[in-house]
Structure 1
Amino acid sequence: MNKALTAPTELRVLLQLVTSRDTDIAISMLARSGIVAEACEDAAALAKEMAEGTGAVVIAEEVLDDQGYGRVLQALRSQPPWSDLPVIVAARSGAEALESSEAIEQLGNVTVLERPMRVSSLASSVQSALKARKRQYQLRSTLEGLREADQRKTEFLATMAHELRNPLAPLRTALNIVSTQQPTPEKRKALHAMMDRQVTHMVHLIDDLMEVSRVTHGKIALRTGVIALGDVVRDAVEVTRPLITAAHQNLLLELPPVACHVLGDEVRLAQVFSNLLNNASKFTPSKGNIRVSMNWDEETVRVQVIDSGIGIPDDMLETVFGMFVQITGTQRAVHAGLGIGLTLVRSLVELHGGRVYASSAGTNEGTTMTVELPRVVAPESENTDASDGAEWNTAARQKVLVVDDNRDAADSLAQLLELLGANASVAYGGEEALNVMMSSHPTVAFVDIGMPGMNGYEVASKIRATDTLAGTVLIALTGWGQATDRERILNSGFDHHLIKPADIQTLTQLLNSFA
């Protein structure tokens, strides 16, 4: 094959005309329009080059003899499913008859130009063909992206099943122990601590799923203010310190004594650094090192979480922040998680106008995660007084009703509320709840939303329409936690929205507010 010019393989135009002179003239004509074309000696060479990639094919009618036609047709049929390769046939007089022939129709995406061809007609036809071909390449990229996303989703579902089974196994074991023997007080205490850890782990997994969904769909609003970033980092360190200590790792915190401020959501930024520290601990061996440092210039604050762990391959430094991305390798597979933690980190950092990136010298060489945020001028004064109200006020033994069609969920929550000092009762459906409320007039009602028959929304509507129950505090307790779910719940007559399972601190603080 004689290549007059070079071009990207996927956008080159392949030519096979009657004579080499015709081919040279066509190549020259197309070059004047900025189109790169390559000549093919025969049908066999044309078919071979088509298999390697092309933007369009220009062939003479004479090429489509019995042997040449078969080779071109086979090359077209061997194209991938997304491909509809444009073919331009330079025909002799009587192009109309050729255009309607069955042989031409089988070639697919064909344009017939009658010879002698005008320069403008040939250039225009080829440009249109290349434009259509580029759209096909875009479709190919989209399909490849969808296939990759589908593969990641499949892997994610398998990982999620694995991650949820992990805490379920010790929970079932503990239940079997309790049901078959009477554990000693020490053993019962150890079993309780273990079960609490596993339930907390499951809650964190579900929370991460819900959180990343909210953030990536833009359904989260930051509560921003001017904050000292060092304080946020210290808080995140204290949250993750027990994990790092339990893993027998060394933690070094290097924060300048002078405060540096950013405009941000304190809770969300603490979440960012907690996730990064959890990741660092997860992939760093026992007795390994984790270091947190902060520095800044006039415009940017940088926080780095540096570990001596198993590192990240160079080709994964960018993709590691993608949704459901898992880094292969035995050690990482053991602690793989759901592959959404770093996606959440990146989304939250970008919502703050910053960026996060990873660097690593390679496998077993550790990882550095760098968060950069815009710096702002410090305020003149700050008021950070706060009170968590974590102690239950037992002075007022309030009547509390738990409404849930799941009997185990209702009974266990009622028992917990009793331990917290409430006078708790249960109802296992909407109709029963209304009857209990009319007779006992509870101060607070925890109501499940997704009940059969009369659901939680209907219960709330009927309570709000009853004068004698109008003062009841209604708390929705549900597994639905999107912003739209919360908005609908609060607009339906509920005073508060809690996501299952509610922890004891949240229940304590909430009940204290009604005492």
Structure 2
Amino acid sequence: MSETADALECRVLMRGATARDALMTRAVLERADVQVQTCSTLAELVDELARGAGALVLAEEALADPAATGLTQALQRQPPWSDLPVLVLARQGADSRVVAEAMDSVANVTVIERPMRVAAFVSSVRSALRARKRQYDLRATLEGLRVADQRKTEFLATLAHELRNPLAPLQTALTLLKRKRPGPDEAARHYDMMRRQIDHMVRLVNDLMEISRITRGRIELDMGPIDLRQVLRDAVELSRPLLDAAQHQLALRLPEGPLPLAGDSVRLTQVFSNLLNNAAKYTPAAGHVVLTAQAQDGQAVVGVQDDGIGIAPDMLDTVFDMFVQVSGASKAAQGGLGIGLTLARSLVELHGGRIVAHSAGLGQGSTFTVRLPLQAEPAVETPVDAPAATAAALTALVVDDNRDAADSLAEFLEAVGMSTGVAYSGAQALELLPELRPDLAILDIGMPGMDGYELARRLRQHPAGQRTLLVALTGWGQQRDREATAEAGFDHHLVKPLDPEQLIALVEGFSR
């Protein structure tokens, strides 16, 4: 709200018994720092009311004006949040009929008998204005809730749309594989496509989980000395497929010297990859993207500039907010939930930095600038040797009440050389345990009857399961969920859908 509009809504509109009374009353209130607008007629006061008011002060004589009907109607048309205070300055003596009618027709009326003590009158006016201020706060809250609800509705519609997009080709490919029974080459093409679509769905769900963790303050950064230049190179590598697919030209301009700072390299790579992905998605084909970095006043300043669809001026302050999408942007983007910028801002702020958006307007491209505090000393990068892969014939137990999930996971483990046993409940798993004696057990958590936590505790107590590598496989990935699985005796916590490469790496690092 502008300063002028705010002033109008905080003023007192007054209609006195006489012009002299109005001047005296106004002088009293203005000495108390109350803004007053005197009105020569009640009709004028009704007109001014439409522009805004914090309270009304009316002499009893003014209520006999025929325009009082218009005032009553105006007050009865107030929105649900509003209950404008009306102070009536009544004549001394018997109760007045017009005052009684005013009290019956208008809810928030306070009657003050004349003559009155100045202190009591000023106190009453200030109390009325404070009550009106609380009404304005309620209005702002209700408007915020309305806008948030509208954004969430749009977000859920976008989420449903984005989840349907990969499901459609998955369903089509499965139908083709079942009906056509294609040869290996043709089938491999369908499998590759299905893998891409599943990866896309996983990214959508991961973004949602990241937002949930950040908004609840449950994200932890793995801070260490890094060179921001390497982070930016890693981000380019992640975003390269999207940039190349759109035939964009990327210009990478990094300084020759290091940009040392303390940060989580994985999270910062995620930040700049998100910005590059946005530039790729919201820029028409064969566009230009420029990634720059420099040291400036003790800060690393990174810019991601594109010549894409741009941002309207009224959206620059809200483009990072949850559930906000730039008008028309969802049509330009090739998939996504529109929460990448929210993630980016949150992660940058966790690093003590700041991110801002610039655009000359729609159709004129965008620039996102990130500022992060530099360290005095350059970062030292220690190369990490890749762990040597170990191959071993292991026995695995898969437990999941979802038979398709259990059987397919067991088939995958067998394909990589393990022998497996499958159980669809905790009780079945305990029956298999003495004979199977598994090296690895992958347990679903949310099973009916005996859940994964209880099964893990029983496995740990059984002689055949005391040395078993226990892996929880669940759709829950919050920190409290990981703490619960660790307390139950699990060695690792994996989140559905399972990343096969992550499981293979875990098994390869397992020493029997």
Instruction: Identify the TM-score tier after normalising by the shorter chain.
Output: over 0.9
Structure 2 residue 494 is matched with structure 1 residue 498: yes
Check whether the contact 1:99–1:112 (CA below 8 A) recurs between aligned residues: no
User: What's the CA shift string for 1:221-253, capped at 9, x where partnerless?
Assistant: 111111101011111111111221122111121
Report deviation, 1:424.
Answer: 2.0
Check whether the contact 1:388–1:509 (CA below 8 A) recurs between aligned residues: no
CA distance in 1, matches of 2:228, 2:372: 10
The corresponding residue for 2:226 is 227
One-letter amino acid matched to 1:179: K
Structure 2 residue 471 is matched with structure 1 residue 475: yes
Q: How does 1:202-213 map to 2 (within 5 A)?
A: 202-213=201-212
Check whether the contact 2:226–2:379 (CA below 8 A) recurs between aligned residues: no
Structure 2 residue 22 is matched with structure 1 residue 56: no
CA distance in 1, matches of 2:502, 2:96: 81
Q: How does 1:2-401 map to 2 (within 5 A)?
A: 8-65=7-64, 67-94=66-93, 101=100, 103-329=102-328, 332-335=331-334, 337-379=336-378, 381-387=380-386, 391=389, 393-394=390-391, 396-401=392-397
Q: Relative to 1, partners in 2 of residues 1:96 and 1:243: Cα closer, same or farther, differing over 3 Å?
A: same
One-letter amino acid matched to 1:445: A
CA distance in 2, matches of 1:144, 1:45: 30
Report the 3-state secondary structure (helix = DSSP H, G, I; strand = E; otherwise coil) of the residue aligned with 2:89: strand
Report deviation, 1:99.
Answer: 12
One-letter amino acid matched to 1:215: I
User: What's the CA shift string for 1:459-494, capped at 9, x where partnerless?
Assistant: 112222334322222111011111222122212221
Report the 3-state secondary structure (helix = DSSP H, G, I; strand = E; otherwise coil) of the residue aligned with 1:475: strand
CA distance in 2, matches of 1:163, 1:6: 42
CA distance in 1, matches of 2:65, 2:463: 91
CA distance in 1, matches of 2:5, 2:326: 38
Instruction: Give the unaligned 5+ runs of structure 2.
Output: none
Check whether the contact 2:300–2:371 (CA below 8 A) recurs between aligned residues: yes
- Tell me the percent identity: 52
Check whether the contact 1:320–1:326 (CA below 8 A) recurs between aligned residues: yes
CA distance in 1, matches of 2:421, 2:93: 91
Check whether the contact 2:300–2:372 (CA below 8 A) recurs between aligned residues: yes
CA distance in 2, matches of 1:272, 1:318: 19
CA distance in 2, matches of 1:246, 1:406: 38
CA distance in 2, matches of 1:93, 1:58: 17
CA distance in 1, matches of 2:372, 2:95: 66
CA distance in 2, matches of 1:379, 1:500: 39
Report deviation, 1:191.
Answer: 0.5
User: What's the CA shift string for 1:30-89, capped at 9, x where partnerless?
Assistant: 111111111223333323322321100111122233845433322211111011111111
Report the 3-state secondary structure (helix = DSSP H, G, I; strand = E; otherwise coil) of the residue aligned with 1:383: coil
CA distance in 2, matches of 1:21, 1:510: 89
- How many residue pairs get aligned? The number is 508
CA distance in 2, matches of 1:348, 1:10: 39
Check whether the contact 1:7–1:36 (CA below 8 A) recurs between aligned residues: no
What do you get for the CA RMSD once the two structures are aligned? 2.1
CA distance in 1, matches of 2:466, 2:168: 45
Q: Relative to 1, partners in 2 of residues 1:412 and 1:484: Cα closer, same or farther, differing over 3 Å?
A: same
CA distance in 2, matches of 1:402, 1:367: 50
Check whether the contact 2:63–2:98 (CA below 8 A) recurs between aligned residues: no
* TM-score for the superposition, normalised by structure 1: 0.94
The corresponding residue for 1:462 is 458
CA distance in 1, matches of 2:423, 2:278: 43
Larger displacement relative to structure 2 (165-174 or 318-327): 318-327
User: What's the CA shift string for 1:365-399, capped at 9, x where partnerless?
Assistant: 2111111000102257442324255x5x33x2111
CA distance in 1, matches of 2:476, 2:504: 21
One-letter amino acid matched to 1:358: A
Report the 3-state secondary structure (helix = DSSP H, G, I; strand = E; otherwise coil) of the residue aligned with 1:321: coil
